[in-house]
Chain A
């Protein structure tokens, strides 16, 4: 059992500095003597801005007691540089700490600083993959991964890595996000061959797991700026899927397609009035299906969307649309004015 810092001769020259919360402390944390001891000496070192090996060693003790204290980490970095400490050893140290506490902001920031000082990202992808194998959605890990890939241009194998994660869990939204990140930086989404490849990929994943918001968000996100109705045959493929692999996300996608068609017809005036009304009718039917059956938790929202679309597209006195809207509002009189 270690002597407390107060008993050690090598600390005799230093006056420990206690925390001072004044006469009426609030949210006081009840520290043990050991904890207070370490931090009282930490505060003393800090006050004198001491640059020494004993200070460096004490930061490790302070970190062990509270790895979220950002001042301790900052002081440790000052000492790493002032004492020209072995940064490879520091990488080993921070690796061990992150394995124990992978959701702490300070430890990941510290690692990033050391990687930058070494200018050596060679361990990163493997290390982060290991952290992700324990929690495939760890936000800090994904952030570090994006940083190191972008900073050091480590794009080459990342799409393969993403696909392996999606094989393990096709619902991993972080992996879908990474897919978008990689492709948008390597090739972008303007090449029609790339877009078609990605559409294919999405549809295959959707067939495996239809109730997967991530796949649908990816598909929509990729296509929405050029127009959801623009890829040839996509609407038809989605209508086919509706029969066998339906989900609220598929239906929402269909609604957005119809809305896109109607917006384009506004601009280009290449659609007959009859076709417009038919498309609007289909869109409103989707809202009704979602509100009444397929996504009832959001029924008020789907009704709101239907009303908004109707207001945008048709005059208030269109009898066909009004009767559709009447059906879809049913008799609950939940009409809320906008």
Chain B
């Protein structure tokens, strides 16, 4: 009897609570309490995480696509009549500046209104998930806004008024160009130089030259090169093999982001996705990774936490879902097919990363 009970317990421990996660994402899309105030300027990325999660769970029917599409378009920074603000176009993270709600142009003149590169990226992805054809996106304005953000060293600012600049925003820029199918938004060669410059002595990538290698920035580097179609041009076979080694050494049970740091569920995505892009995810231990991720589920409210027995985050839950859902071993398919799958994988940057 005792043995049966413990077997049942074990089964219960590792079951995947799909319905709870659907409800978690639904609630996220509705109202968040004030203690989430720090997410105000990045609300569009929250939508993206929630939609990605619902998409993976095949549960997009629980939301009203059209109202959501309208809301996203209201965040587009459109050119003014005289087009003087072209270099500031893109998507906002939210209505925090106070522009009156509008889904149509022309843009409103405002001394401080501009897009944010991560919001333009997640805005476009969200529209795609919702089935929108991007016909109301002013592509030329987005690309002009993007060009204004790139520095001489190849990295990008997040916003035209200036911010920190690093590899995260190269990834956002590459994603935008890829989605809009127009690489006039960036100088690819300079971006590649910055990426190469960020390769550390230990063969992970830092946020910029000299900085400590990290799973998130390694993902940004490799994914950007894949989106550009320049992976094997930018990095030699020897370098790629060393990068594979760095990444695969991140697995402890789940994955951590840097040597000698604790595991965190989000790195199952950042590092896992990088390994998949490099064709070696198949050599990781799926079972240990899966068990770790499932152990972080919040059985009551849904969602996943960074670690077991802590609170679910709002941002990275879709990452963890992706990791479980998409990580069936794939030994069939050509390299190109797998690359395309990985490119279409839903990607995100948790709030703390910008």
How far in angstroms is the closest Cβ of chain A from B331? Answer: 6
Having A19-B98, A103-B352, A137-B261, one finds 20 other A-B pairs with CB under 8 Å, namely A20-B98, A20-B100, A21-B71, A25-B71, A26-B43, A28-B30, A29-B37, A43-B97, A46-B98, A47-B98, A70-B41, A74-B159, A75-B112, A172-B260, A218-B202, A221-B200, A297-B252, A298-B249, A298-B285, A301-B248
Closest to B64 in A: A24
* Pairwise interchain contact A304-B283, C-beta atoms closer than 8 A: yes
Contacts of B100 in A (CB 8 A): 20
Judge if B11 is at the interface, Cβ distance under 8 Å. Answer: no
How far in angstroms is the closest Cβ of chain A from B237? Answer: 11
Judge if B39 is at the interface, Cβ distance under 8 Å. Answer: yes
Q: How far is A18 from B94 in the complex, measured between Cα atoms in Å?
A: 13
Query: Count of chain A residues with Cβ under 8 Å from any Cβ of B?
Result: 69
Closest to B100 in A: A20
Most buried by B among A70, A173, A252, A298: A70
Q: Which of A19, A28, A301, A337 contacts B283 (CB 8 A)?
A: A301
Closest to A214 in B: B259
Q: Can you identify 8 A-B contacts, CB atoms within 8 angstroms? A: A39-B96, A71-B112, A180-B200, A184-B201, A212-B260, A301-B248, A301-B283, A337-B331
Contacts of A180 in B (CB 8 A): 200-201
* Pairwise interchain contact A213-B259, C-beta atoms closer than 8 A: yes
Judge if A220 is at the interface, Cβ distance under 8 Å. Answer: yes
Closest to B43 in A: A27
Judge if B280 is at the interface, Cβ distance under 8 Å. Answer: yes
Judge if B83 is at the interface, Cβ distance under 8 Å. Answer: no
Q: How far is A139 from B40 in the complex, measured between Cα atoms in Å?
A: 23
A137/B31 contact (C-beta < 8 A), A29-B40, A213-B249, A336-B282 known: no
How far in angstroms is the closest Cβ of chain A from B54? Answer: 13
Contacts of B158 in A (CB 8 A): 70
How far in angstroms is the closest Cβ of chain B from A24? Answer: 4
Contacts of B213 in A (CB 8 A): 177
How far in angstroms is the closest Cβ of chain A from B199? Answer: 11
* Pairwise interchain contact B212-A177, C-beta atoms closer than 8 A: yes
- The interface stretch among B147-155, B161-169, B173-181, B340-348 is B161-169
Judge if A181 is at the interface, Cβ distance under 8 Å. Answer: yes
Judge if A333 is at the interface, Cβ distance under 8 Å. Answer: no
Q: Which of B39, B43, B201, B214 contacts A139 (CB 8 A)?
A: B214
Judge if A142 is at the interface, Cβ distance under 8 Å. Answer: yes
Closest to B165 in A: A109
Judge if B8 is at the interface, Cβ distance under 8 Å. Answer: no
Q: How far is A46 from B41 in the complex, measured between Cα atoms in Å?
A: 15
* Pairwise interchain contact B32-A30, C-beta atoms closer than 8 A: yes
* Pairwise interchain contact B203-A26, C-beta atoms closer than 8 A: no
Contacts of A71 in B (CB 8 A): 41, 96-97, 112
Contacts of B352 in A (CB 8 A): 103
Q: How far is A19 from B41 in the complex, measured between Cα atoms in Å?
A: 12
* Per-residue A-contact encoding for B198-214, CB less than 8 Å = 1, 0 else: 00111100111011111
Contacts of A24 in B (CB 8 A): 64, 67-68, 70-71
Q: How far is A146 from B208 in the complex, measured between Cα atoms in Å?
A: 11
Q: Which of B36, B95, B208, B251 contacts A20 (CB 8 A)?
A: B95
Q: Which of A21, A22, A47, A173 contacts B259 (CB 8 A)?
A: A173
Closest to B314 in A: A27
* Pairwise interchain contact B111-A49, C-beta atoms closer than 8 A: yes
Judge if A17 is at the interface, Cβ distance under 8 Å. Answer: yes
Q: How far is A105 from B99 in the complex, measured between Cα atoms in Å?
A: 25
- The interface stretch among A61-69, A119-127, A234-242, A323-331 is A61-69
A29/B212 contact (C-beta < 8 A), A298-B251, A298-B285 known: no
Contacts of B280 in A (CB 8 A): 301, 304
Most buried by B among A68, A108, A222: A68
* Per-residue B-contact encoding for A164-176, CB less than 8 Å = 1, 0 else: 0000000111100
Judge if B234 is at the interface, Cβ distance under 8 Å. Answer: no
Closest to B250 in A: A213
**Contact residues, A298-337 vs B (CB, 8 A):** 298-301, 303-304, 336-337
A142/B68 contact (C-beta < 8 A), A66-B40, A300-B284 known: no
Judge if A143 is at the interface, Cβ distance under 8 Å. Answer: yes
Contacts of A301 in B (CB 8 A): 248, 280, 283-284
Q: How far is A180 from B246 in the complex, measured between Cα atoms in Å?
A: 17
Q: How far is A28 from B203 in the complex, measured between Cα atoms in Å?
A: 41
* Pairwise interchain contact A29-B98, C-beta atoms closer than 8 A: no
* Pairwise interchain contact B36-A29, C-beta atoms closer than 8 A: yes
Q: How far is A172 from B212 in the complex, measured between Cα atoms in Å?
A: 11
Q: How far is A171 from B29 in the complex, measured between Cα atoms in Å?
A: 41
Judge if A31 is at the interface, Cβ distance under 8 Å. Answer: yes
* Pairwise interchain contact B38-A67, C-beta atoms closer than 8 A: yes
